[in-house]
Amino acid sequence: MRTRPVLVYDGDCAFCTSCAAFVERRIRPRCAITPWQFADLDALGVTEPRARYELLWVTPGGAVHGGARAVAELLLSAGRGWAPLGAVLTLPLVRRLAHAVYRLVADNRQRLPGGTAACAVRRAPGPGPSRDG
């Protein structure tokens, strides 16, 4: 059984990889950080389409938070000066705005610095990811 949360990101995306490196180096959340391509998604309770769609925060108990909520959770886990920002991201009105900003960035990550065509989010047919944040 895992004792630490896991942050799962898209390792094929240069922008996402750069962000994950920044998180690891500067924010230092209390979690494991891994690209979904190397994660045991079944053990994490995550589908590949969801892992392709958004950043994921998987708690040791198996709860999965995606997108802006995953960002809030990683900031909360980092403590120090980051936790208050994470707490703000969970407030109802801010949460809605954070979700919209997250989707805007995620849907256009191939256009951002370090992004390539491989960064484009490809939507899989069928049920989409849950909206928990």
Count Cα atoms within 13 angstroms, Cβ side, for 50.
Answer: 21
Distances, alpha carbon 115 to alpha carbons 12, 14, 17, 47, in Å? 10, 5, 10, 24
Q: What is the mean pLDDT of residues 97-102?
A: 97
* Greater pLDDT, 125 or 121: 121
Assess contact for 56 and 64: CB atoms under 8 A. yes
Position 116 scores a pLDDT of 52
Per-chain mean pLDDT for the chain:
87
- Strands of 1-133, DSSP E: 6-9, 32-35, 56-58, 64-66
Higher pLDDT, 120 or 87: 87
| Residue-level pLDDT at 117 | 53
**Percent of the chain whose predicted confidence (pLDDT) is above 90:** 71
3 state SS of 114: coil
Position with higher pLDDT, 62 vs 15: 62
Paired strand residues for 3: none
**Rounded to 5 degrees, what angle do the CA atoms 83, 88, 93 make?**
160
pLDDT band at 59 (very low <50, low <70, confident <90, very high): very high
